[in-house]
Amino acid sequence: MNINLVTFNIKIQSASSLASRIDRIAKRIRTSDADIVCFQEMSTDMQYVAAASLPDYVFIGGGRYSNRRGEGTPVAYKRERFVLQEFRTRWLSSTPTVPESTFGGDQSGCPRVYVLAFLTDLKTGEHLRVYNTHFDHKGKNARYSEATLLINEIEKDNEIFETPFVITGDLNAMPHTKEIKLISEREGITDVTNHFEQTFNAYDEPFDYGEEAKIDYIFVSDGIVCIDTALWNEKENGEYLSDHFPIFASLVI
């Protein structure tokens, strides 16, 4: 099974502001023949705008607040290619089923979530689990706890589902940090984006990460081979698609 997958921090903004760039974003997604797009920083209002421009995709995943609104990490998949077997939203906290819960400590005031989409290919019957998330932007201890929770959740799922999986997201940490190494050095998990030096661009404004800011990732489990990757770093009329470069990966399962 061949799958084209994208992780895409779309940059949180009002739905009306997104409307000014959604045509370009939707065109890029369609021309890449992306089967699955994993978004970060997409509010529920932004999701309505994106879904209207991408009618061939099903969007799943609400916001991070208890009313399921606000910023989230939705997954979009081709409706004619996949059927959804299981969907889950969990908060990255010591009480992951409690809406708006956090780890506290050095974490920002922003609740963080992951979304699981368990998909089945309608033609081949093959399965794939997609875990999409967005770690905290402030606390390194919080990010380590978030990474630990996510890995623990995946390992529990591994006992139930004998299916390959991918982890996607803006993890707000560089590859050398302990929170990223907790994932990248795990047996059976590979970072297929480890050759990219920069994924955050800040629209070319100064930022705190330094010259190289690789904070967006696609990890794959054993049983998945990556045959190609690309950064969507092109400009149109002097502007990028977002303040992060979306990452495209062509995978074989």
Four-residue CA torsion sign, 158, 67, 170, 45: positive
The structure's pTM equals: 0.95
Nearest to 231 by CA among 241, 219, 221, 220: 241
CB of 183 within 8 A of CB of 192?
no
Averaged pLDDT for residues 21-28: 94
Name residues whose C-beta falls within 8 Å of residue 158's C-beta, 6 or more positions apart in sequence.
none
Q: pLDDT at residue 63 above 80?
A: yes
What's the confidence (pLDDT) of residue 15? 66
Q: What is the average pLDDT score of the chain?
A: 94
Q: Which residues contact 216 (CB under 8 A, 6 or more apart)?
A: 7, 9, 169, 170, 171, 193, 199, 200, 244, 245, 247
Tens digit of pLDDT for each residue in 129-175? 999 999 999 999 999 999 999 999 999 999 999 999 999 999 999 99
Tell me the domain boundaries of the chain: 2-252
CA 98 from centre of chain: 21
What is the fold of 2-252?
Deoxyribonuclease I; Chain A (3.60.10)
Q: What is the pLDDT of residue 211?
A: 53
Across the range 197-204, mean pLDDT stands at 88
